[in-house]
Amino acid sequence: MPKNIHEIRDPVHAFVRLDSHERGVLNSRPFQRLRHIHQLGLTYLLYPAATHKRFEHSLGVMELASRVFDVVTTPGNVTDEIRRRLPQLEREDERRYWRRIIRVAALCHDVGHLPFSHAAETTLLPEGWHHERLTREIILSDEMESIWEMITPPLRPEDIVKLAIGPKKARDMEFSDWETILAEIIVGDAFGVDRMDYLLRDSHHLGVAYGRFDHYRLIDTLRILPSPPSGRNDEVRQTQRGTEEHGTREAEVGQEEEARCVELGIEEGGIHSAEALLLARYFMYTQVYFHPVRRVYDIHLQDFLKAWLSDRLFSTNLEQHLKMTDNEITAALLEVAFDPSKAGYEHARRIVQRQHFKVIYQRNPNDININPEAGSAVYRALTSRFGEEHFRCDRCVQKGGAPDFPVQLRDGQIVSSLALSETLKNVPIVSIDFVFSSREKYEEASRWLEEHRAEIIRPTREDERNG
């Protein structure tokens, strides 16, 4: 009898299991291409073992997505109120359909990635394009559609798209509460399994322990819950007036209960695992993802690709996209880095011969107190004094909001995570603002900057800034 369940060994989750339909997705050309896309771009130039690929990460995301789905839809973990709001939870055929959808969406969520993942994404796609849009196009392509049709019951490709890229990147699509929750399981800010897997996997491969957290406990305590209550304005007014009056506006409170959204939250027992996840994210961002040398290699790669690619952009044609992997670009880098006559030589040389730019300025609390745009001011001053070709700037702030999610206390009350946990409230926001200098100009520019620094970062009035 042919085997329907297949196991794949995985260093993070031990085994990832998939059935024959899912193996059809795995065997497709877009998914196999992910074997050739480094998860962390050129990070292996700093952390030599960072050679893992999007392929195994996508398998891990599928594994975690279904674990979370199973926990949050288990009847004993769902209250009557949630069941009333999400009728899909009551119907076994619906539940099975959406379990299938979330698994293939998780599997496909990264198929649109460009070579070297995020390294070259921001400036090398035409306006309005990003890797999620390419993911969407691939899921809706004829090649993948034939796979969705073979499955029983056939999968609606639009459902897969919604869960794979979420409302942030599928802005023209309407999401039901149910679809929003399921997309949140994959790409959510607080508990998205995409993030859980990459923290654990990157940590494992890089040999950096910071990314580990107790994901078993965390997943076990995840629940679909009503959003934390919002404070009412009448309470603010009472506080402001300092009166003892308690005008309970019961009708409004009732309406508010009804209007509260549902979202992913946790049982009280999981709060420390959630804190550990968010601290892991903070440490991995500061130590790895926003490491200045890693960032400057990304910039050199972008500069190289702008010179090397025809039209200075990646193609959004799916055939072309599927043909382009890290392999083609690595081969080009190695060739061009030793031939000054080739376009992009200077940038390829900086990567291959490790002659990357050096940090000449970075954000610090003192300067930010004076001017939050200090990095831009330094970059403008340096380029105007020494020439644009010698400097690059890199500004990036952590995306997403505060870790404000519902927590269900042991007595059933729902509270905001930020009201419960001092730790969550105080996890710093990762924000970088680097200016890099070529090695040729570094000494001279450093001396000049030291001399003029105070004057450069002084905040200017808008009339001076914009004329």
CA distances (Å), 80 to each of 72, 76, 77, 327, in order? 13, 10, 10, 53
Distance CA 165, CA 78 (A): 26
Q: How far is the CB of 138 from another protein (least distance, A)?
A: 23
C-alpha distances out from residue 401 to 43, 67, 405, 418, Å: 27, 25, 10, 12
| Smallest distance, another protein to C-beta of residue 96, A | 25
3-state helix, strand, coil in the chain (%, to 5): 60, 10, 30
The distance in angstroms from the start CA to the end CA of the chain is 78
Minimum distance between the CB of residue 256 and another protein, rounded to whole angstroms?
5
Residue 428: count of CB within 10 angstroms of its CB: 10
Q: Provide the minimum distance between the beta carbon of 402 and another protein in the complex, in angstroms, as a whole number.
A: 6
In whole angstroms, give the CA distance from residue 296 to residue 235. Answer: 50
CA distance 91 to 85: 13
Minimum CB distance to another protein smaller for 187 or for 299: 187
Query: What's the closest the beta carbon of residue 422 comes to another protein, in angstroms?
Result: 9
User: 393 in helix, strand or coil?
Assistant: strand
Judged by beta carbon, residue 112 or residue 228, the one nearer another protein is 228
Of 129 and 448, CB closest to another protein: 129
SS3 282: helix
Q: Which residue lies nearer to another protein by CB, 56 or 132?
A: 132
CB of 15 to another protein, least distance (A): 36
Q: Cβ closer to another protein: 177 or 267?
A: 177
For the four alpha carbons of 396, 401, 402 and 407, in that order, the dihedral sign comes to negative
Of residues 120, 107, 110, the one with CA closest to residue 41: 120
Q: Which residues bind another protein (CB under 8 A)?
A: 167-168, 171, 174-175, 177, 180, 227-233, 235-237, 240, 252, 255-256, 258-259, 261, 263, 368-369, 372-373, 397-402, 404, 413-416, 418-420, 425, 429-431, 459-463, 465-466
Q: Judged by CB, which is closer to another protein: 29, or 232?
A: 232
C-beta closer to another protein: residue 174 or 244: 174
* Shortest Å, Cβ 230 to another protein: 5
